[in-house]
């Protein structure tokens, strides 16, 4: 199947690591030009160098919570290619805390991250996406939106709100821009690397620790997912091959959800 992405332009937020980096690579392999952003300029440059072997990449340091920086990213993309056909809102991370140990400041920070990492970029790129004729937004969201976990209480609530927001936007932007999401389970990435480094049982190797996580979480496919397994779903949802899909989500979780 030809996804129809060749010659088009994508912006991937959080493109220096994990799911965002894998997505940038898949989109380049599909023939897109890809702009990536993240906050850490050094890690971003390393990603740019790696991705440059696959195609035409623009890398720009940008905190998606900083409106002026997002405007700068938009201007850089306009100068570079003058178009944007796909926006992948991926930047972010989860917060481990129960209701008892989440402060008001934590709530405010988490809600701001989850909502404004969508709002700021969509505000900025909507005019270019609308001009594309085949514009699409794909948000990387978590299964927690539908299946909350007590130890990630504010991330779960924020994720659910974001799914609601995306549904509204799918209606508001139709028929010009499709808006969809990929809801992920546990995916091996920078986040899990950090959790592995902070593990209690130091005797476990990375493989043993990941296998224990998969077993404890009862993931039916028996392992965590790989970033490229999410990236392929993002590429499809963001492509003209998904031209009649909007306001929808694909679950990439190895079967982790328990709802129907």
Residue closer to ligand NDP (CB basis): 61 or 240 = 61
Residue closer to ligand NDP (CB basis): 43 or 131 = 43
Is residue 121 at the binding interface for ligand NDP, with CB under 6 A as the rule?
no
Site for ligand NDP in 198-237 (CB under 6 A): none
Is residue 14 at the binding interface for ligand NDP, with CB under 6 A as the rule?
yes
Is residue 45 at the binding interface for ligand NDP, with CB under 6 A as the rule?
no
Min CB(89)–ligand NDP separation in Å: 8
Tokens at 54, concatenated: 């696959």
Longest dimension (CA), the chain: 55
Torsion angles phi and psi, residue 33, rounded to 5: -90, 140
The Cα–Cα gap between 168 and 204 comes to: 45
Is residue 24 at the binding interface for ligand NDP, with CB under 6 A as the rule?
no
Q: β-pairing, 33-38 with 249-252?
A: unpaired
**How large is the angle between the packed helices 190-197 and 206-216, nearest 10 degrees?**
100
Min CB(31)–ligand NDP separation in Å: 23
Q: Stretches 185-193, 196-204, 208-216, 232-240: which one binds ligand NDP (CB under 6 A)?
A: 185-193
Question: 160 near 228, Cβ under 8 Å?
Answer: no
Binding string to ligand NDP for residues 87 to 116, with x set by CB under 6 A, is what?
---xxxxx----------------------
Catalog residues that contact ligand NDP under the rule CB under 6 A: 13-14, 16-20, 37-40, 43, 63-65, 90-94, 140, 142, 184, 186-187, 189-192
């Amino acid at each position: 199947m030809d996804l129809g992405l060749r010659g088009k332009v994508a912006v991937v937020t959080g493109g220096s690591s994990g799911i965002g980096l894998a997505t940038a690579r898949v989109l380049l392999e599909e023939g897109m030009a890809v702009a990536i952003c993240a906050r850490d300029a050094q890690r971003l440059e390393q990603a740019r160098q790696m991705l440059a072997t696959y195609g035409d990449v623009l890398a720009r340091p940008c905190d998606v919570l900083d409106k002026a920086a997002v405007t700068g990213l938009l201007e850089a993309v306009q100068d570079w290619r003058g178009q944007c056909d796909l926006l992948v809102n991926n930047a972010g991370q989860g917060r481990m805390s129960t209701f008892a140990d989440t402060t008001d400041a934590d709530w405010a920070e988490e809600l701001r991250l989850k909502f404004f990492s969508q709002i700021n970029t969509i505000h900025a790129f909507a005019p270019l996406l609308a001009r594309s004729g085949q514009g699409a937004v794909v948000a990387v969201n978590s299964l927690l939106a539908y299946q909350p976990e007590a130890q990630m209480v504010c991330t779960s609530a924020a994720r659910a709100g974001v799914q609601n927001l995306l549904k509204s936007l799918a209606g508001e932007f139709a028929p010009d821009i499709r808006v969809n999401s990929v809801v992920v389970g546990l995916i091996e990435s920078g986040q899990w690397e950090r959790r592995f480094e902070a593990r209690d049982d130091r005797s476990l190797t990375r493989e043993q620790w990941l296998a224990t996580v998969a077993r404890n979480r009862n993931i039916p496919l028996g392992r965590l997912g790989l970033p490229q397994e999410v990236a392929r779903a993002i590429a499809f949802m963001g492509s003209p091959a998904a031209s009649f899909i909007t306001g929808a989500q694909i679950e990439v979780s190895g079967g982790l959800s328990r709802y129907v």
